[in-house]
Amino acid sequence: MARYKVILAYDGTDYAGFQRQAARVSIQQEVEAALRSIGWKGRAILASGRTDSGVHASGQVISFDLSWKHGEQALLHALNANLPEAITAQQITIAPDDFHPRYDAIARDYGYQIYCQPVRQPLKQRYAWRVWPAPDIILMNLAAQDLIGEHDFVAFGKALKPEGTTMRNVHQAEWKIAPDGCTFHIQANAFLYHMVRRIVYVLVQIGLGKQDVTIVRRGLETGDTGLVALAPAQGLMLQCVYYKA
């Protein structure tokens, strides 16, 4: 018996998020079904975090215990052979017996993609939010700098547990120009529920001239921005989870 660490990529469009659901199919259910087909007897896999319905990942991390005698590469092929096309194990390695993908993580990267076109583009719509007219990336980056550092982010999300802290430490937050829009990269030690999507929505409102650039700072100071909307799920991707070497 060994504990395996898996880097997982998936298109979340047709799934009810990562976590197992009673009435709708989730990423977790698909992965566990694939594992059972190759002899896994566990109750539940472990994951670095829960992505929302419609959110994608290129670097989700999961782990599980399995008796397997054929090597990591053979396990990778066997798992992928039983997964649907929208989900793929990118890499499998043996981890320490006490490895936990969530509690051992020291940082996480998310990306958010926006495309700026006057009409909807079906080939982009699954993976990006259409915003028109194009928001001002200079204003968005100016406001994003206020996110960096350790703050109480209660204005931008909820703790996963009722007694959980809303303090988080954001390491990086930056917009970059893309060929047909812009992309947002944010890294933090951890994220609150809906934190990235709420941040993106607020920053885009600033970029469109609908909110003042100081609203982020006010939200961090007072715990409220006055805005409760979220950026659409399809633009968001969990890109990487970091661990100590």
Q: DSSP assignment of 83-101, as one string?
A: S-TTEEEEEEEEE-TT--T
Distance in angstroms (rounded) separating the CA atoms of residues 30 and 226: 38
**Do the first three CATH levels of 2-95 and 105-243 match, i.e. the same topology?**
yes
Write the pLDDT tens digit of every residue in 50-87: 999 999 999 999 999 999 999 999 999 999 999 999 99
Structure tokens at 2: 């060994």
* Closest C-alpha to 243, from 57, 101, 58: 101
Full-model pTM: 0.95
Distance in angstroms (rounded) separating the CA atoms of residues 236 and 113: 7
Domain residue ranges of the chain, discontinuous segments joined by +: 2-95, 105-243
Structure confidence at residue 245 (pLDDT): 76
Does 136 qualify as catalytic in the annotation?
no
Q: Examine the pLDDT at 189 and tell me if it is beyond 90.
A: yes
Question: DSSP class of residue 77?
Answer: H
Stronger pLDDT, 20 or 108, i.e. the higher one: 108
Structure confidence at residue 160 (pLDDT): 85
105-243 placed in CATH 3.30.70.660: yes
pLDDT band at 148 (very low <50, low <70, confident <90, very high): very high
- Give the CA distances from residue 63 to residues 15, 32, 59, 71, 116, in Å, rounded to whole numbers and listed in that order: 20, 11, 13, 16, 38
Q: Which of 11, 52, 104, 146 is catalytic?
A: 52
Question: What number does CATH give the domain 2-95?
Answer: 3.30.70.580
Write the pLDDT tens digit of every residue in 204-235: 999 999 999 999 999 999 999 999 999 999 99
Counting residues of the chain whose pLDDT is more than 90, the rounded percentage is 96
Write the pLDDT tens digit of every residue in 96-107: 999 999 999 999
Looking at the DSSP assignment, which residues form a beta bridge with residue 87?
Answer: 10
Structure confidence at residue 161 (pLDDT): 85
